[in-house]
Structure 1
Amino acid sequence: MAPRNGASALTRPRIVDAAVALADEEGLRAVSMRRLAAQLGVEAMSIYHHVPNKAAILDAMTDRVFEGFHLPSTDGDWRVELHARADSIRTTLLRHRWGLELVDSRRSPGRATLAHHDAVIGCLRNAGCSLALTAHAFALLDAHHFGFVAQELRLPFEDGEALDPLAADIDANVPLAEFPHFAEFVTGVALRPGYAFGDEYGWGVELLLDELERRRAAEAPSTVAERDGTAP
């Protein structure tokens, strides 16, 4: 059978590009060999010459997400590097909303994924964090980054959305008089002009980095000894 138009130019990166575009437009469930073939103008079997199965495509898509995350420099200012990483994670996952389902869930991490984890660990270690503190920090930072975005994606409104309809819904459906603390928060914070839930992300990052700085400084001498092999 003669190849359909576009088959001769088919490459693995082009397949991944198509998978990412399809997921961006219709969600992760839309990604299938048949749909990708239609997108690329090829027979479905042509794709198998470049990727063995759908799992390999999902792994490659995960790596593409990690390519969007800032790769911390192990020689830079650790706080600046981790802040840039935090900002890029949120930006990337809001652009590829399906990415959160794949991040840290695949069993065959690609080079970009491994390089990213290695760089984060190296950044923390070179900043003077012990292995234990590095593990704590890595886990807690990612819990904030990924957990916040997961919550943000589930909210029934978008940052910057007009507040009047939301306020009307609350007035109609919530007995605010019975919940004074919630009422104070809604009227004093959430429904005030200019409030954006997304701004809480950066506040949380700063809080975590402040505490990490305190703990890093407290254990710095022992960490140097640990790395030099002179610790008791």
Structure 2
Amino acid sequence: MSNQAGAPPRGRLNRDKVLRAAVGLADEAGIELLSMRRLAQHLGVVPMALYKHVANKDELLDGMVDLIIAETGPADSGGGWKAAVRQRILAARATLQRHPWARRVLETRTNKTPGVLAYMDSFIGIFLSHGFSEDLTHHVMHAIGSRMWGFTQELFEEPEGQDGGSGDGLDGDAQLALLAEMSTRYPNILRIATASAHDQGSVVGRGCDDQFEFEFALDLLLDGIEKLHAASWTSIPRVVLSGEAP
């Protein structure tokens, strides 16, 4: 079988080459169009050749996740835990921006791959190595949640491929009618969603700076964690710690 135009040279296949080709194909065409058959065509091989390196589509996706996680790299803890965590999270976010499909895969994969576990372990290690208790670290990880991977569910984010009520694609009269209806039914949402920080002259939430909002929330969270750590916070009631009767 000859290579398709734009496909990498066939050469000798190995697992790394298969995974990197899959990542490139997902970046180019989207994760929905990625299949073992299409990947084989991209590599210029028969589909059965792929199964020597990945057992099935699930293993392929797991390997792709590990590959992009490795792009994030280790955190530089020279500036303290707060700077290290911030740098790690923003590096993960930059990685997801290079691979837009990866967020959906991370959200849907239930299998904790070695790459995922190693990333989580090193992330937890930043806190523990800077004197955080296991108790506080446990709650911190819950609070950080998906932000650890560089994304969150944005409040004013439009559903992918949908209007989301934003008025996008409507003519001027229809947009005015939409705004009038929202001002009556949802006045508080409209007031916030069309504020200058979000609106920039467009309709309901368009123009919102996702990167700014992400870093704003991240810094709020890190500041709060810093205060808890400085106060030696614990979730264990003080009366239990002191041995007093409740």
- What range describes the TM-score normalised by the shorter chain of this pair? 0.7 to 0.9
1:209 has 2:222 as partner: yes
Q: Distance in 1 between matches of 2:28 and 2:214?
A: 25
TM superposition score normalised by structure 1 = 0.77
Q: Distance in 2 between matches of 1:167 and 1:80?
A: 46
Count of equivalent residues: 214
Name 2:52's counterpart in structure 1: 49
Q: Taking CA–CA contacts closer than 8 Å with sequence separation of 6 or more, which of the two structures ends up with the larger relative contact order?
A: 1
Name 2:37's counterpart in structure 1: 34
- The partner residue of 1:147 within 145, 152, 155 is 152
Percent identity of equivalent pairs? 30
Report the alpha carbon displacement of residue 201 of structure 1 after superposing the two structures with TM: 0.5
Give the letter for the 2:179 counterpart.
V
1:218 has 2:231 as partner: yes
Decide which moves more: 147-156 or 122-131.
147-156
SS of 2:209's equivalent? Answer: coil
1:190 has 2:195 as partner: no
Q: Distance in 2 between matches of 1:166 and 1:187?
A: 20
Equivalent residues of 1:74, 1:122 under 8 A apart: no
Give the letter for the 2:111 counterpart.
R
Q: Distance in 2 between matches of 1:208 and 1:119?
A: 19
Aligned ranges 1:105-120 → 2 under 5 Å: 105-110=109-114, 112-120=115-123
Name 1:181's counterpart in structure 2: 188
Report the alpha carbon displacement of residue 114 of structure 1 after superposing the two structures with TM: 2.6
Report the alpha carbon displacement of residue 25 of structure 1 after superposing the two structures with TM: 2.1
1:94-123 deviation per Cα after TM superposition (whole angstroms, max 9, x unaligned):
22122112226241503x323211211110
Equivalent residues of 1:137, 1:212 under 8 A apart: yes
- The partner residue of 1:21 within 8, 11, 24 is 24
Equivalent residues of 2:36, 2:50 under 8 A apart: yes
1:108-149 deviation per Cα after TM superposition (whole angstroms, max 9, x unaligned):
503x32321121111010122111211211222133443246
Report the alpha carbon displacement of residue 75 of structure 1 after superposing the two structures with TM: 6.2
- The partner residue of 1:93 within 87, 91, 96 is 96
Equivalent residues of 1:22, 1:31 under 8 A apart: yes
Q: Which has the higher helix share?
A: 1
Equivalent residues of 1:152, 1:198 under 8 A apart: no
RMSD (CA atoms): 3.2
Report the alpha carbon displacement of residue 189 of structure 1 after superposing the two structures with TM: 3.2
Name 1:228's counterpart in structure 2: none
Report the alpha carbon displacement of residue 33 of structure 1 after superposing the two structures with TM: 1.4
**Any unmatched runs of 5+ in structure 2?**
4-8, 163-167, 202-206, 235-242
Equivalent residues of 1:73, 1:119 under 8 A apart: no
TM superposition score normalised by structure 2 = 0.73
Give the letter for the 1:200 counterpart.
E
Q: 1:7 to 1:195 in 2, by over 3 A?
A: closer
Q: 1:81 to 1:149 in 2, by over 3 A?
A: farther
1:154-185 deviation per Cα after TM superposition (whole angstroms, max 9, x unaligned):
3679xxxxxx9789564341215424433432
